[in-house]
Structure 1
C-alpha cells in the first residue's frame, strides 16, 4: 500500500507519540488530589467527614508522592538514552512503534496497581515509552519536513502534549465522581483513566504503518531509491524531477559522503571539540524547558490552587483552565515559529516567565502566611495560605506562566535540538538532549512537594531565577536555525558564527521549495578532522 504523502497528515499521526506524555501529566494532576487516590495509596491515619459523607485521607507522604510522579521521568530518561541506538538501527518509524507497545504494557500495570511499588513500576515502564517517542518523533518529523515548515510541524508535538493533557484531565475529572461516597472510596475512579490512556498508543502503532520512512535514515542505509521516492512523495506529489527534490537529494548525498569519509559515529563524538558546543546547546534547551517550572504548574497545580483557597471540585475546574490556555496559546507558535525564528521566542519567553514567577513569589511572601501544621486539607505540601484579592492574583499569575510557556519554550524545546546535529549524530544527539529533559523532569517532580513543605513561596523565587539565567544564556549561545536546510546549519558551527549574528533562512527556503531559485550549496564542512 502506498504510504501517506501529505506532510501535515504524517505529522498528525507521529505527534500522537508526544500526546502520551500529556496523558500522563494530567492523569496524575487530576487524580493525586482526589480522595479515591489518596485513600487507596494512603500512608497516614484516616478521618471521616460526616457533613460530606466522605473519608478524608492524606495519601502518600510528600517524598513518596514526589517519587510516584518522578518515576515516569526516571523511566523516560532511560527510554531517551536507548532511543538513539534503537532509531539508528531499526529506523525512526520502528522506534516510535516500539514506544507505543511499551506504553500499553506500562498502562496495564498502572491500571491494575495494587500498591505504591506496583504503581511506580508501571509508571517507569510508561516513562520508557515516553522517552523513546519524545526523542524520536522530533527526529522523524525534522528529517522529513521542508525547512520552512519544520518548526511548526515538530512544534506540533508540543500541541499534541497539550491536547493529551486537556483530554485526559477532563476524563479524569469526570471519573473523580465515581465512588466518592463509598467506604472506602472506589479505586475505579483512577483505574478507568489509566486504562483509557492505552487507546492513543494502539492507534499510533497501527497508523505508523501508513507513513513513509525518514528519507535521511534511508540514505544513511544506502537505500537511495527509497529515499528519493519519499522526498518526491512528500514534497512534489511523486515528481522525482522537481528542482527541490533534485537539490535535496544532492545535499543529502554530499553530506552522507562527507560524513563517511571524515567521521566515525560514536557517542564520544558528541563531546569532541567540534561537536560539544552544539551538544551543550541541545542539552540546555531541554534543561531550561523544565526549569521554566511549567511541569510544576502542570503536575501540582491542584496544590497551588488549594493554597489559594480553591479545593475539591472548584480547584479541579480552575486547574482545567490552565490546560485550555496551554492548548490555545500553543497555536500562535505553530503558525509563526518559522517566521519569527527560534531565538526571539526563547529569549522573550524566558523574560516573560521570569516576570510572572517573581510576581507570584512577591504576592505570596507579602500577603500569605504558613498553613496550620500538617498542611491544608491534611496535605503537607499545601503549606501556605493566601486569600482575598491576592489569591486571585496568584491564580492569574499561574495562568500567565502557562500562557508564556505555551508559545515559546514548549514547542521550541522539541524543534530546536534535532536541527543542531548532523545526520550521523542526530538520533544520538537528540536522545541525549531528551534524556537531559527527563533527568531534570525527574528532579523537579521529586523536589517540588518537599519544596512546598520546606521553603513554601520561595519555590516560586527559585524558578524566577532560573528563567532569568536562561534568558541570558539563550541570547548569548543559541544560534538561529529557522528556515535553514539541515545541512546548512553546519555552516553556523563550522564558521563559529556568534549566536546573536545568526538570522533565519525562511525566505531562501521558501524559494527553494517553489523551485524559483536553486543554487548548489558548497557547504564549508570545516569540522576538525583530527577529532573526527
Structure 2
C-alpha cells in the first residue's frame, strides 16, 4: 500500500506549517476563503433537510392536497432535486474549466436563487417540481466545484481539513433547516389557521446565504492552478503569496509554483501529442472524458472517486436523513418527539462529529478514518437490524430495545460524519491530474447524486417489504467499504496534487518520463538529492533566470 507522510515526497520540502488546528490558525486568509466558499455546502444541506419539514405543515397540505396525501408523489418531489443535482454536477466540469472555479460558483448561485424563488412562490405542482429541479442543478454544481476549488487553494498539509469544511457546512445546513422548520410551523398556529409563511418562509430563507455567497464571489481568489492552466502565471504567483502568507521570494512559493507549472505544461504537451488532429476544445474535452475510462492510471482514480460516492450513499446515510421519522416510528418510538429525535438530533450529531475530521484528517490520514468509520458503522447497522428482527412485533413491551436501536442509529450517523462523509469529498478533488481534474470530479459527484436518487426511491419500499433486512442491506455495504479500503485504496495524506502520479501511475511510459524530466529540467526544478535544503533556502531557483530560459 502506498502512503506518504512528507509533503516533499523525496523532493524539497514545500510545507508551510503544521496540519490541523494550528495550521488553520496560522493561515487566517486561506481559512476565511474556505469558510466563505463552504456556504455552498450549507445550501446543499439546508435544501436537503428543509423539505421534510415543509411537506408535513398543515398550510402546505391545504395548498397542495394531492402532494400532501400521495407518498409516491412526495418521493418524487424529494428525488427530483437529486436528478437536477446529478445534471448540474456533470455539466459543471467544462464550465469550471472554461470560466474558472470562482465564476462557476457565482453561476450556480444565480441558478439557485431562481429555483428557490420558484419554490417559495409556487402556486401549483409544476412550479414546485420545476423549482426543485433548478435548485438541484445549482446544488449539484456547487457540490462539484466547492471541493475542487478548496483542494486547489490548499497546501498539502491542510488540504483534507479545508475540503472537510464542505461536509461540516452540509451538516450545518441540515441542522439549521430543522430548527427553522420547527420554529416557522407555529406561524398562525399549527392547525387550519396556519399561515402559508410556515412553509414559504423556510424555502425563501435559503436565498439569504445564496445571495451572500453570490456577492462575495467577487472577492474570492482564483484557483492558482486554474490561473496557470490559462497562462496567467503572474496572477497565480500573487494568489499563492496571499494564500500562503509568505513573500514572493520564499523558496516554497517558487517551488510550488514551478511544480504547478511543470504539471500544467506536461498536460498541455501531452494533450497536443495525444490529440494532434482534434479540432476545437469540444472534441478534445470528449476525448479526455474517454481517457478517464480507458487509460489505466486514470480509470483507477475514477473508480476510486466514484466508488466512494456509491458506497457513501449505500451505507444508508440519506435513507436515514430522508426517512428518519419513518425509521424511528418503525422501531417503536412515537409521539411528537419523533421528529425532534429523528431530525433535530441527527442534524446536531452530523455537525459535531464532522469537526474532528476538519481538525485531524491531515494527521490521521484518509485510510485510517475510513477503516475506523466502516467498522463502527457495520457494528451499528448489525445491532439495529438484529434488534429490529427480534423485537419488531413487540416494541410496546420492550421500550428499552427501541431506545437502544435509536441510540445505535445515532452512533452510525456519528461514525459516518467523521469518516466517509468527509473523505468522499476530499479524495476525488485531489487525485486527478490537472487536465482532467474537473471532469473526473464532475463524474464522481454526479455518481453521488445518481445513487442518492436510487436510495431515496428504494428505501421506503425496503422498509415496507423487507423491514429489518433494510439495515442488513446497508450493513453489507459498510463491510464492503472496510474490505475495499483495506486492500485497494491508497493513502493520499500530505501528497501534493501534482505528485499523485507517484501513487496512481501515469508519466510511466518512456516518452512520458522523458517529457516530464525535460520539463522539470527546463524549469530548473531540482530534487532534494541534487541540492542541500539549507542552501536552497537561500537561493534554490532563480525565477528570473527560469523566465529568461523560456
What TM-score bracket applies, with the shorter chain setting the length? 0.7 to 0.9
Distance 1:463 1:180, change over 3 A: farther
Q: Is the 8 A contact 2:57 2:199 kept in 1?
A: no
Q: Tell me how large the CA RMSD over aligned residues is.
A: 2.4
Q: Tell me which residue corresponds to 1:155.
A: 164
Change (3 A) 1:495 1:104: closer
Moved more, 209-218 or 440-449: 440-449
Equivalent positions of 1:123-202 (< 5 A) are 123-183=132-192, 185-202=194-211
The aligned runs of 1:303-452 (5 Å cut-off) are: 303-311=326-334, 313-319=336-342, 320-369=344-393, 388-452=399-463
Deviations 1:455-506 (A, max 9, x none): 2222111111111112111222211111111011111111799xxxxxxxxx
The answer to whether the 8 A contact 2:313-2:452 is kept is: yes
Q: Distance in 1 between matches of 2:93 and 2:47?
A: 23
Q: Does 1:297 align with 2:308?
A: no
Greater Cα shift, 142-151 or 462-471: 462-471
1:480 aligns to 2:491 (yes or no): yes
Match of 1:463 among 474, 484, 496: 474
Q: Give 1:528's aligned residue.
A: none
Q: TM-score, normalised by structure 1?
A: 0.84
SS of the equivalent of 1:6 reads helix
1:211 equivalent in alignment to 2:220: yes
Task: Tell me which of 448, 453, 473 is aligned to 2:464.
Answer: 453
Separation in structure 2 between the aligned mates of residue 517 and residue 273 of structure 1, nearest angstrom: 42
In structure 2, how many angstroms separate the alpha carbons of the residues matched to 1:344 and 1:159?
Answer: 19
Q: Deviations over 1:288-335 (max 9, x none)?
A: 111121111112112222334444531222131111111111111111
Contact 2:58/2:192, CA 8 A, preserved across alignment: no
Gaps of 5+ in 1: 45-58, 371-383, 498-507, 521-532
* Residue aligning to 1:240: 248
Match of 1:505 in 2: none
Give SS of 1:222's match.
Answer: coil
In 2, distance between residues paired with 1:311 and 1:106? 35
> Which of the pair is proportionally richer in helix?
2
Q: What is the CA-CA distance between 1:134 and the residue it aligns to?
A: 0.5
Matches within 5 A, 1:247-266: 247-263=255-271, 264=275, 265=285, 266=288
Q: Which residue of 1 aligns with 2:301?
A: 278
1:400-444 C-alpha deviation (Å, 9 max, x unpaired): 111111111111111110111001111110000000000011111
1:503 alignment counterpart? none
* In structure 1, C-alpha distance between the alignment counterparts of 2:151 and 2:391, rounded to whole Å: 47
Distance 2:403 2:80 in 1: 33
Q: Tell me the SS of whatever aligns to 1:369.
A: coil
**TM-score scaled by length of structure 2:** 0.82
- 2:314 aligned with 1:288: no
Cα pair 1:66 1:447 within 8 Å, conserved: no
Deviation at 1:350, TM superposition (A): 1.4
The alpha-carbon distance between structure 1 residues 302 and 245, as it changes in their structure 2 partners (threshold 3 A), is same
Shift of 1:37: 3.9
What is the distance in 2 between the residues matched to 1:387 and 1:17? 43
Residue 493 (1) aligns with residue 504 (2): yes
SS in 2 for 1:487: helix
Matches within 5 A, 1:17-36: 17-36=40-59
Instruction: Report how far residue 86 of structure 1 moved.
Output: 0.5
Aligned partner of residue 411 in structure 1, secondary structure: helix
**CA displacement at 1:220 relative to structure 2:** 0.4
Residues 1:227 and 1:21: Cα distance change in structure 2 (over 3 Å): same
The corresponding residue for 1:95 is 104
**Which whole-Å CA distance do the structure 2 matches of 1:42 and 1:454 have between them?**
27
Query: Cα–Cα, structure 1 residues 369 and 297, in superposed 2: closer, same or farther, change >3 Å?
Result: same
